[in-house]
Structure formats: C-alpha cells, structure tokens
Amino acid sequence: MVIRYLSRSSSVRTAALALGALVLLSTPVSAAELLAEPAPPRPVPAYTSAYLDRPGVQVRPDADAPPLPSHVSALAWLVADAHSGEVLAARDAHRPLPPASTLKSLFALAVLPHLDVGSRHLVAPRELDLVGAGSSLVGVAPGRDYRVDDLWRGVFLSSGNDAVHVLARLNGGLDKSVRQMREKARELGARDTHVVSPDGYDADGQVSSAYDLAVFGRAGLADPQFSRYCSTRVAQFPAGGWSYPIQNTNRLLTGADGVAPYPGLLGIKNGYTSNAGATLITAAQRDGRTLVVTVLNPQEGGGYAVYEEARSLLDWGFAAAEKVRPVGSLLPPPAKISRARTTSESALLEPDDSDWPALMMVMAGGVAVLAGLIVAVRRRAATVSRRTEAKKKIVE
C-alpha cells in the first residue's frame, strides 16, 4: 500500500513535507520513542482511481470473499455500490469503447431537466431527418402531436432514436444537446466519454467506458424522473387516436426472450450496435443495498450474454459487498486534490518512491529539532531553579 500523490509539483511536495515536520514537532514524545514506532499504514484513499487506471481485472478481496464469476467475457465491466459510489471490482474500467444506446442515459441526465414532460409537441418532418439508418425506433411520426412524457418513454423503453432526435430539437437542437451532454459528463467526473450523436448511434470518435456508464447509471438513480422511466416495463405509445404497447428492451427487467428477470432490478439502459456489440447499464436492490453494474461487449455466449454476465456480477456483488475493499469510487475526487483526466494521462499518478528520501530527511530534522527543544527546556528549568535557590539564600 502506498500514498498516491495527485501532483508531483515541488510546491505540493514542499507543503506536504512541511506539514509532516510540523506534526513531528507537536508530538510530546522523545526521540527514542519516535524512532521505535513502526511506519504508519499508507491506505489508498476512497476516491482514488489508481487501481482502475490499470488494465485487467481489479479486485481486493478479503480471505472470505467469494471468487469473481469465471465466465464473464465482456471487454470491460464494473460493479459498484450506488449509495457510497465505491467500486467493488472492475475490468478495464477506463477502456474507451463505443457505448451504443447506453449513451441515452447521459442524454436523459443532460436534457430531462430542461423539458416540461407535461407539454405537447407537434413533430415536424425535419426533426427526423438525421435519424441513422437501421436505428431502433419507437414509431414517432411527423405531423403527429405527442406529450413529452410519451417521447421519454419511447427513449427508455424502445430505445427510440426517433424520440431522441425530437427531444433534442425541443431542447434547442442536436448541437446544443451534444454540448450539454459533454458538459454533464465532465460535471459528473466522467472523463472517458466523448459524445458525437445524442442517441448513441455509431459515430467516429464516440466512446465511453464501463466506469463512465456506471457514473451515469448512479446519477440516474438519484433522479426521480429518470428512475421512473428506466424502471417502466410496459407502456402505451400514442399513434393518432389509438395507441400500442411498448416493452422495455432490458431483458433483466422484463424477463423477455428467455432471459429470467432479476429480482429487485431497477432497470436503467441497454444498447446494441454492430460496432459496439451488446452494452448494458443496470442496477438492482437487495437487503437495503443497491448495486450498479456495467457490461460492455461480451465476446462469448450470443446476443443475450450481456444480461447473463450482468446477472453473475450482480450476484457476486451482493455476496461480496462486505468482503472486498474498494478499488476506486464513482464519486469525483475532491476539487482541491483532483486533476482533470485527459486521453493521455491518468487522474491519479502511480507512487513516486523518490519522495521518501526527502521525507526521511524531514523526519530526521524534526527529531533533531525536537531533541534540541527538550535540551533547551531542561537548561531553562535548571537556570530558573538555580536563581530560585539563590534568592532563598539571600532572604534567609
């Protein structure tokens, strides 16, 4: 275990080392006692991403922790506690991958607050012009009047790209919505995500990560409107004087297509494109604990493997929650000690052992100063004592 510095600048090092010296000087123990004490523990802070920056599977199990499921083939995945934000385990958490329709979760986080879900909108033909070929659709038709509430159900249940484009136009346009999505991602500390299209349709440069998608899922659970939409199993979608049923395409929620429903599932968002493969953000609640799981592009098991791998990770997470130490957090680092992640560097750096000689010098210096102070105090006490005795003799 090692202390992990957020900056290697000389000013930060100097401040940290000076603080260590002040602590030494204020400790009322002898030099011998200081030298005899064992080195203090150096825990990884709860907010660190240092483990998550590393490739491969990251988990810190206690002796009695259950093993991770062996058949998870996804290119990246993550299990986190939704309440605390602690990441229990992950694989390639920050690997940039195409997100498919899971990116609609970020669209909802960014745009939902700006639209009145009770209002109505008459769809113009141009609002559907840029919907990509082969997109998933809920059936929005030009010239038809819709409640904004119905359009959001079309986004969450049917993953309708047509509904996304109409809502984006209502929000001031595609460009504005993309800009808001990028800003929302940065606000949440999601530094791996680059938004090009608000619906998650494959586009050059459009990526997210298992970590960022978990951040979006956790934020969504905290939003009552988002939570209501993402957990809806079935709804009626208007079609001009009549309506038809739409069903949530998250099979863990509905139990469709031979996938057993997961107990306590809270929904969130699934996706699929030929480029991204199957992707999923999901969450479940059990015994007062809520877990968020993300799974990106399973390599084995067919089209519905994403649900079975998520099921295995949820089962493991509930069994292991009290038996593993976190490998990171979905919470953004405190502003005073954070540094924005870029594509070329990690938010937190690996340990710099070269600081230890300097720290040892400060400790030695602190001990020397402390010893000097003790000697000075004793000399002062002796002087005062001699003067007192001299005064007594004079009086007598």
Alpha helices in 202-290 (DSSP H): 210-221, 224-230, 251-254
The Cβ of residue 222 has, within 10 Å, a number of other Cβ atoms equal to 11
* Identified catalytic residue from 49, 104, 269, 312: 104
Nearest to 245 by CA among 155, 154, 159: 154
**Token pair 């799981």: residue:** 293
Cβ neighbors of 230 (< 8 A, separation 6 or more) are: 105, 156, 220, 266, 267, 268, 269
CB-CB neighbours of 254 under 10 Å: 17
- H helices present in 188-290, as ranges: 210-221, 224-230, 251-254
336 a catalytic residue: no
- Of residues 178, 67, 132, the one with CA closest to residue 275: 132
Q: Select which of 49, 101, 208, 209 is catalytic.
A: 101
Catalytic residue among 136, 158, 159, 312: 159
Q: Name the DSSP letter for residue 45.
A: P
Distance CA 373, CA 380 (A): 10
**H helix intervals, the chain:** 10-25, 31-36, 104-111, 148-158, 161-170, 174-187, 210-221, 224-230, 251-254, 305-320, 355-395
Task: Compute how many other C-beta atoms are within 10 angstroms of the C-beta atom of residue 15.
Answer: 11
Q: Could you confirm whether 104 is annotated as catalytic?
A: yes
The C-alpha angle 112, 118, 120, rounded to 5 degrees, equals 100
The answer to whether residue 101 is catalytic is: yes
What gap in Å lies between CA 97 and CA 278, rounded to an integer? 11
- Name the DSSP letter for residue 92: S
| Rounded Cα distance, 345 and 240, in Å | 52
**Residues recognised as catalytic:** 101, 104, 159
